[in-house]
Amino acid sequence: MPALNVEFSDRELEDLRQIAKERGTSMKALVREAAAADISRHRALQEGAEAFRRFFASHADEFAAAFPDDEPPAKGEGRGA
């Protein structure tokens, strides 16, 4: 399995030791679990954002009708040069 060396400050390392001890796990397992949780959270946020974009695109006309002031000006409209 590929590995990654991660540097921590002395304070961070001591905090990790303490947390691992309190949880009855190793520091390696603690850091791996935190990284895996962050990866999972990141993927979920990406999937949620994509679902929102699809929903918004499929209802664009409804949003435009409901919020006309938020629509960008059409070509040729707006300020003159």
- Which of 50, 47, 27 lies closest to 39, judged by CA? 47
Question: For residue 77, what pLDDT is reported?
Answer: 62
Mean pLDDT by 10 residues, the chain (81 residues): 93 98 97 97 98 96 93 73 51
Q: Which amino acid is at 12?
A: E
Question: For residue 19, what pLDDT is reported?
Answer: 98
Question: For residue 80, what pLDDT is reported?
Answer: 56
pTM of this prediction?
A: 0.69
Question: For residue 66, what pLDDT is reported?
Answer: 95
Q: Is the C-alpha dihedral spanning 38, 43, 46, 48 positive or negative?
A: negative
